[in-house]
Amino acid sequence: MTSASPVLSYTSGVADVPLLYQTIGQNLDHTAALHPGRDALVEAGTGRRWTYREFRADTDVLALGLLDAGVGKGDRVGILAPNTAEWTLLQYATAKIGAILVTINPSYRTHELRYVLRAAGISLLVAAREFKTSDYAGMIDSIRGDCPDLRRVVLLGSAGWRAVLAAGRAADPARLFAAQAGLSPDDPINIQYTSGTTGAPKGATLSHHNILNNGFSVGRICGYTHLDRVCIPVPFYHCFGMVMGNLACTSHGATMVIPGPGFDPVATLAAVAGERCTSLYGVPTMFIAELNHPGVGTFDLSALRTGIMAGAPCPVEVMKQVVSRMGMHEVTICYGMTETAPVATQTRVGDSLDQRVSTVGKVHPHLEIKLIDPGTGLTVPRGAPGELCTRGYSVMLGYWNQPDKTGEAIDAARWMHTGDLAVMDARGYVTITGRIKDMVIRGGENLYPREIEEFLHTHPDIVDAQVVGVPDDRYGEELCAWVKLRDGAEQMTAESLRAFATDKLAHYKIPRYLLVVDEFPMTVTGKVRKVEMREQSVRMLANG
């Protein structure tokens, strides 16, 4: 007599509506025809606003201007700017002509910017002149000679930007109709660079089909209609902003509300109150900043009902306060990665508080997930830990010009291997328990030690470097660098290392802690023991 087979950690998402098979431009045109007079986009800080009729018209003008500038299907257009209305207009204008938008993290410094411009073969770069401490115009000038594909740079608000718009207004609209007619929903439309364990960022290449459907599904689970107004303080350069935010709105006729160019708790609260937002996005640290602001009680948040928290685990007390003090009774938790457009799992309206803080929900409609034994590749039973893999419409086309890296991430059966360890319960809810790789998640940013280690090796006094994550109350994790110095080198401090890295690495990639050591903990075969290194880091930092 044989025992019953265990229930395996596999599930597929039940869908009550079919996938959209449209380009992003077609979907926007459809929404604008349904809701021409409703708000599409509001830039709360400046008071600028667009109805769907106006947003479509301005998107078309910019698309025609890009065509006049020689940009066509498959050309890579970079955007280096904080959250602005122009960022959003460019997102949809490039989609309308089939140009591939390369979203660049506005925290990048010259080292990273040069790499992305060259790796993606960006021919046109649209950039803000500056933001906070970043002089983008100066950065671009300093590296432009190293980027042979870069034919043109257009600074937002400049005469060059105005010239592009003027050319678009003077152009024959038939050019745009012809360009759109030559597009397929399966065409690549977006490249987002993610840090990689190889030390160099990899360009996750996403299609109209990937990101339009993912945004639509996220919005549908949040219950969006044309009556919703979504406050989006998360960055557009990441899927959280441009897919879960913008595309979730435009695919449902909802309103995109930009509270400001970068996250500010007061500006965010003011935008929610002033625009009567029904939904608010953020990573847990953003919600913590809003809840802890002394003036939070002066803002009318009564229109809020839902939102999304993602990027890091949500503390129980924070979730309780988001529900009770902000009125977000239908707030959802999302899990995913850029390579999956990005959301693979999401909690549902009506899920318990425990499900929203201890799990990342269940599989999205039209997708599959399974948990496998990393050693055998076999699906593990429910309740056992395994590597989370996902398959379906959302899986990226591949890493730009890196078929070898694509093959390492996506197997022959089209399963995307996330590298995250998880457990699936009897109801199909997933809990993330750890990471196979050494990725560090700092305040919602995914950081890969290898990239930072390779940069540290460029320091003339460092002969070897290892980077690990250590626990942090505010950001979840912080970076700690272990370094060996060359003989005769002067003593190094965290401050001197930060000075070396400033303007070369994004601020969040610069290690907060530094430990100067003679040796690293090693295995008998000569491999660095990062688990032990993390444990030692916590002890050493605690002891000063």
Calculate helix-pair angle for 174-181, 85-97, nearest 10 degrees: 70
Bridge-based pairing state of the strands 332-336 and 306-309: parallel
Q: Decide which of 350, 368, 386 is a domain's last residue.
A: 368
Locate 97 and state its tokens: 């002509």
Closest CA to 456 of 411, 487, 420, 492: 492
Q: Decide which of 314, 334, 368 is a domain's last residue.
A: 368
Query: Does a structural domain hold residue 373?
Result: no
Domain that holds residue 534: 447-542
Shared domain check, 258 and 362: yes
In this structure, the chain runs to a length of 544
Shared domain check, 239 and 140: yes
Query: Does a structural domain hold residue 94?
Result: yes
Shared domain check, 458 and 322: no
CA 221 to chain CA mean position, Å? 19
Shared domain check, 463 and 360: no
pLDDT of residue 199: 54
Query: Does a structural domain hold residue 170?
Result: yes
Shared domain check, 149 and 236: yes
Calpha distance 341→395 (Å, rounded)? 7
Is the alpha carbon torsion for 414, 420, 424, 428 positive or negative? negative
Query: Does a structural domain hold residue 195?
Result: yes
What CATH number did the domain enclosing 185 receive? 3.40.50.12780
Dihedrals φ, ψ of 420, to 5°? -95, 140
pLDDT of residue 525: 45
What CATH number did the domain enclosing 462 receive? 3.30.300.30
Query: Does a structural domain hold residue 105?
Result: yes
Shared domain check, 226 and 326: yes
Closest CA to 441 of 265, 281, 321, 310: 310
Q: Decide which of 348, 368, 388 is a domain's last residue.
A: 368
pLDDT of residue 526: 54
DSSP state of 297: G
Calpha distance 44→24 (Å, rounded)? 25
Shared domain check, 266 and 129: yes
pLDDT of residue 512: 95
Query: Does a structural domain hold residue 111?
Result: yes
Instruction: Give residue for tokens 């449902």.
Output: 252
Shared domain check, 249 and 105: yes
Query: Does a structural domain hold residue 432?
Result: no
Instruction: Give me the number of domains the chain comprises.
Output: 2
Query: Does a structural domain hold residue 383?
Result: no
Calpha distance 252→232 (Å, rounded)? 16
Closest CA to 5 of 378, 361, 374: 378
Q: What is the mean pLDDT of each run of 10 residues along the chain (544 residues)?
A: 80 97 98 98 98 98 98 98 98 98 94 96 98 96 97 98 98 98 98 69 96 98 98 96 98 98 97 98 91 94 97 83 96 96 96 92 98 94 95 98 96 96 95 78 81 87 90 92 90 94 93 93 66 90 83
Shared domain check, 346 and 204: yes
Strand ranges of the sheet holding 386-392, from the earlier edge strand across to the other edge: 10-12, 367-372, 386-392, 416-424, 430-435
DSSP state of 378: P
Beta-carbon contacts of 534 under 8 Å, excluding residues fewer than 6 positions away, are 468, 469, 470
Calpha distance 265→88 (Å, rounded)? 21
